[in-house]
Chains A and B, each alone.
Chain A
């Protein structure tokens, strides 16, 4: 069974540009989460989808970040316009159905904003 996949693995963009990250959860997982780790800090929660609905987006830093999960399958996280402080590793995770099912993580996307 395929795990959580993320694309791209690495993205380098200039300040002010737009970047879209993609996450494909494990097949059949209703819950999808985004986290990020900026340089030197802890991994921080961004938001949580249950199927196509946003369950909790309390961790989204500002309105330059837009997450979608149309159809309840894969998800995208768009940063527009990107700022220097957005650099870091963006992780996606998925879990089955119950709110306390274990979250399985993808390899992350390393975003560098110059």
Chain B
């Protein structure tokens, strides 16, 4: 069975602060994929990043960075110098190699105040 846990249900920061969203996963698969999606107030799920289990390199995209640590089964997401437009619900998800059903965490609501 697969499981994704996002322990932080809600985070509130002030603009320009850095914030890290935690994601811990459980899987018995040796190969798997991890994802982050953003759900802005408009409701759609916007794809942010995908990592496979063989690639533990951290990734940076502008103000966004992701830290994948297989040893702790974590795939954390950091926003540097947060902005009001970053306010959204962020979902971490996992899928096995052989199949493609996504297992989602419960989401973290991020509120960035001006």
Contacts and interface: CB of A to CB of B under 8 A. Distances in A.
A100 B43 contact: no
Interface in B62-114: 91, 95, 97-107
Interface stretch (A16-24, A63-71, A72-80, A103-111): A103-111
B44 A43 contact: no
Interface of A: 3, 31, 33, 35, 41-45, 48, 56, 58-59, 89, 91, 93, 95, 99-108, 110
A8 to B, nearest CB: 13
Interface residues of B, number: 24
B42 A107 contact: yes
Contacts of B98: 99
A95 B44 contact: no
B106 A42 contact: yes
Interface of B: 33, 35, 37, 42-47, 50, 52, 91, 95, 97-107
B97 A42 contact: no
Contacts of B107: 42-43
Given A100-B33, A105-B44, A107-B44, A42 B99 contact: no
A35 B100 CA distance: 13
A45 B102 contact: yes
Contacts of A95: 100
B86 to A, nearest CB: 19
A104 B99 contact: no
A105 B45 contact: yes
B95 A100 contact: yes
A100 B96 CA distance: 8
A3 B43 CA distance: 14
Contacts of B102: 33, 35, 43, 45, 93, 103
Contacts of A59: 101
B37 A105 contact: yes
B103 A91 contact: no
Contacts of A35: 102, 104
26 contacts: A3-B44, A33-B101, A33-B102, A35-B104, A41-B106, A42-B104, A42-B105, A42-B107, A43-B91, A43-B102, A43-B104, A43-B107, A44-B104, A45-B102, A89-B43, A100-B33, A100-B52, A100-B95, A100-B100, A102-B47, A103-B100, A103-B102, A105-B45, A107-B42, A107-B43, A108-B45
